[in-house]
């Protein structure tokens, strides 16, 4: 299908309306928010009421909005170095020949990065012990087995195969390293009655969520069999489920809260864990496996869902996309994938599973299958139309790869590699692009919250507000605009 360039209009008046706040008085904005969560709600709800009917926003007007969301500059003369260029760049800091040759043999980007991270941490540890810069540490320094053993013991990484391979570059016998791992063999969690619940659960949630729940279950039953006399003669796989009581659930809640207070786990981690345990026993009751629902009236662990994040600047985004063009295995493909996340807020899996039939070049729109299998139609900015037009092969099902799960993992791997060489410290992996997209939309002073929610594809504005982040400079500027008199 031919793309329709006539749909891309230039309406400077509309751009000026979106980008400039002409209100002159912000007394209608509640800037005395007591927390950044309240602030994110405020930023979403206090936008101008002018043109707040989403129906008045045409596809063309939203395209103008998206075209002007960022100022990203791409270098015209770019020397392509490929994935091995990242390897060469990182290996410049390693002087030990054995480590260098070992790393040069790693062609798989993920394997290279995982080994490099361990080596970097180990060399930094050695630099402290030997009182010399990490870049000056050589093979002679590393023929010191005590360095390896102390590092392994202190960092508790003796079970990681990556470090064992590094250890065996210098020492043939790995028994000493293995001896440091004093942890007992972890019993696989396969309680026959809970397996019935897990079979049902697996059909309803993602694989990562399923594995996380199973881990939470195992930890709970391990705690039961360790702490309570009535369960000490049972293994985690033979605990009589009908003997577990509401009081024990409450006690486990206290244990989790203590772990949070000691800094072992974050609040959201223990909240999720306790929620999963409560929902397990509610499910077991509903399935008729236990006679009573012990989860009733057991209150969960509340936590503040909002977490402030720094958002990359236009300059940082420019450096990122130029690095993608320089180092990614297929620059156009990876650049387009990351742009879909940045310019439309698509999630990693949504990009990987994008099909050629989801793109309509006649209307310059894209149909995105989001959470719950729901489809949303979004406008495509011109940059993405041009990129996608170059990529789409009507003989192929998927836009990027007929193995979407592999491409999804590659998106994450190359994001981590490129963000690492750029010294990015933004949490959350590629999902930072979705946070950036929604935050940038919220910064347009005349853009209604209904449009932000629509483009974010959230069913509730409360969810959208979790993606809006304001730094202190923005707060200062906003407060200075307030007319108190």
343-359 residue pLDDT tens: 999 999 999 999 999 99
Q: Are residues 67 and 88 in the same domain?
A: no
In this prediction, residues 466-470 reach a mean pLDDT of: 84
Q: Are residues 337 and 423 in the same domain?
A: yes
Task: Please answer whether residues 451 and 25 qualify as being in contact, where contact means their C-beta atoms are separated by less than 8 angstroms.
Answer: no
The predicted pLDDT at position 18 comes to 55
pLDDT > 90? residue 63: no
Range of the domain at 173: 84-179
The predicted pLDDT at position 157 comes to 60
Helix and strand numbers, DSSP H then E, in the chain = 23, 3
In angstroms, the first-to-last Cα distance of the chain is 59
Alpha helices in 346-471, H assignment, sequence order: 348-352, 382-391, 404-421, 432-442, 449-456, 461-465
Q: Which of the pair, 76 or 169, is modelled with greater confidence?
A: 169
Q: Are residues 66 and 152 in the same domain?
A: no
Give the domain-ending residue among 146, 179, 212: 179
Length, in residues, of the chain: 485
Q: Which of the pair, 338 or 19, is modelled with greater confidence?
A: 338
User: Is 308 part of a structural domain of the chain?
Assistant: no
The predicted pLDDT at position 178 comes to 58
Task: Please answer whether residues 359 and 375 qualify as being in contact, where contact means their C-beta atoms are separated by less than 8 angstroms.
Answer: no
The predicted pLDDT at position 47 comes to 44
In this prediction, residues 309-319 reach a mean pLDDT of: 93
Q: Is the pTM of this model over 0.75?
A: no
Q: Are residues 115 and 18 in the same domain?
A: no
Structure tokens at 71: 């100022």
Q: Which of the pair, 10 or 355, is modelled with greater confidence?
A: 355
Structure tokens at 157: 């990484």
Structure tokens at 108: 């798989």
pLDDT > 80? residue 441: yes
CA 214 to chain centre: 21
Q: From residue 50, how far is each of 23, 53, 248, 448 by CA, in Å?
A: 10, 9, 55, 8
User: Is 296 part of a structural domain of the chain?
Assistant: no
Structure tokens at 352: 């990987």
Structure tokens at 391: 């990529």
pLDDT > 50? residue 370: yes
User: Is 233 part of a structural domain of the chain?
Assistant: yes
Least confident of 48-52, 286-290, 411-415: 48-52
What one-character DSSP code corresponds to residue 115? H
pLDDT > 50? residue 31: no
CA distance 408 to 440: 25
User: Is 295 part of a structural domain of the chain?
Assistant: no
What one-character DSSP code corresponds to residue 1? -
388 falls in which pLDDT band (50, 70, 90)? very high
In this prediction, residues 253-281 reach a mean pLDDT of: 91
Q: Are residues 401 and 462 in the same domain?
A: yes
Q: Are residues 343 and 453 in the same domain?
A: yes
pLDDT > 50? residue 485: no
Share of the chain above pLDDT 70, in %: 81
Least confident of 51-55, 182-186, 394-398, 469-473: 182-186
Taking each helix axis as running N to C, give the angle between helix 109-130 and helix 83-91, from 0 to 180 degrees, rounded to the nearest 10. Answer: 10
Q: Are residues 117 and 225 in the same domain?
A: no
Q: Are residues 259 and 356 in the same domain?
A: no
Q: Report pLDDT digits (tens) over 399-434.
A: 999 999 999 999 999 999 999 999 998 877 899 999
Q: Report pLDDT digits (tens) over 199-212.
A: 988 887 777 788 89
Q: Are residues 65 and 111 in the same domain?
A: no
pLDDT > 70? residue 473: no
pLDDT > 60? residue 335: yes
Q: Are residues 348 and 454 in the same domain?
A: yes
Share of the chain above pLDDT 90, in %: 45
The predicted pLDDT at position 184 comes to 43
CA distance 98 to 332: 36
Least confident of 55-69, 111-125, 232-246: 55-69
User: Is 304 part of a structural domain of the chain?
Assistant: no
Q: Are residues 206 and 166 in the same domain?
A: no
Q: Report pLDDT digits (tens) over 83-135.
A: 888 888 888 889 999 999 999 888 888 888 888 988 999 999 999 999 999 99
CA 246 to chain centre: 35
∠ CA(128), CA(130), CA(132), 5° rounding? 80
**Domain tally, the chain:** 3
């Amino acid at each position: 299908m031919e793309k329709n360039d006539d749909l891309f209009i230039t309406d400077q008046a509309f751009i000026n309306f979106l980008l400039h706040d002409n209100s002159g008085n912000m007394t209608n904005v509640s800037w005395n928010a007591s927390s950044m969560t309240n602030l994110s709600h405020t930023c979403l709800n206090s936008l101008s009421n002018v043109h707040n009917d989403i129906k008045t926003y045409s596809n063309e007007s939203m395209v103008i909005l998206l075209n002007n969301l960022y100022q990203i500059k791409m270098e015209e003369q770019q020397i392509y170095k490929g994935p091995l260029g990242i390897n060469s760049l990182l290996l410049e800091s390693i002087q030990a020949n054995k480590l260098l040759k070992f790393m040069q043999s790693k062609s798989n980007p993920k394997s290279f990065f995982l080994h490099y991270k361990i080596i970097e941490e180990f060399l930094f540890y050695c630099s402290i012990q030997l009182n010399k810069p990490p870049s000056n540490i050589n093979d002679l320094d590393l023929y010191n087995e005590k360095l390896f053993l102390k590092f392994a013991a202190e960092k508790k990484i003796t079970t990681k195969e990556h470090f064992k391979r590094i250890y065996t570059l210098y020492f043939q016998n790995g028994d000493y390293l293995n001896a440091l791992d004093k942890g007992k063999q972890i019993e696989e969690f396969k309680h026959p009655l809970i397996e019935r619940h897990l079979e049902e659960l697996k059909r309803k949630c993602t694989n990562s969520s399923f594995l996380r729940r199973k881990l939470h279950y195992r930890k709970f039953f391990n705690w039961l069999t360790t702490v309570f006399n009535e369960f000490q003669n049972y293994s985690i796989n033979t605990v009589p489920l009908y003997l577990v009581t509401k009081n024990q659930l409450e006690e486990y809640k206290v244990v989790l809260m203590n772990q949070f207070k000691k800094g072992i786990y974050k609040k959201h981690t223990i909240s999720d864990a306790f929620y999963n345990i409560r929902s397990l026993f509610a499910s077991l009751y509903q399935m008729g496996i236990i006679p009573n629902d012990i989860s009733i009236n057991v209150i969960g662990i509340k936590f503040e869902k909002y977490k402030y994040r720094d958002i990359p600047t236009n300059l940082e985004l420019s450096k990122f996309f130029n690095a993608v063009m320089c180092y990614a295995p297929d620059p156009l493909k990876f650049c387009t994938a990351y742009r879909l996340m940045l310019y439309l807020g698509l999630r990693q899996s949504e990009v990987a599973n994008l099909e050629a039939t989801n793109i309509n070049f006649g209307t310059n729109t894209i149909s995105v299958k989001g959470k719950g299998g729901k489809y949303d139609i979004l406008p495509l900015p011109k940059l993405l139309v041009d990129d996608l037009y170059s990529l789409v092969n009507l003989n192929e099902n998927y836009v990027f790869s007929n193995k979407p799960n592999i491409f999804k993992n590659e998106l994450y791997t190359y994001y981590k590699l490129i963000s690492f060489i750029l010294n990015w410290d933004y949490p959350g992996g590629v999902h930072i692009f979705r946070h950036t997209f929604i935050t940038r939309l919220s910064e347009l002073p005349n853009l209604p919250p209904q449009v932000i929610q629509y483009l974010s594809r959230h069913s509730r504005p409360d969810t959208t507000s979790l993606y809006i982040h304001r730094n202190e400079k923005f707060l200062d500027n906003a407060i200075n605009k307030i007319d108190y008199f």
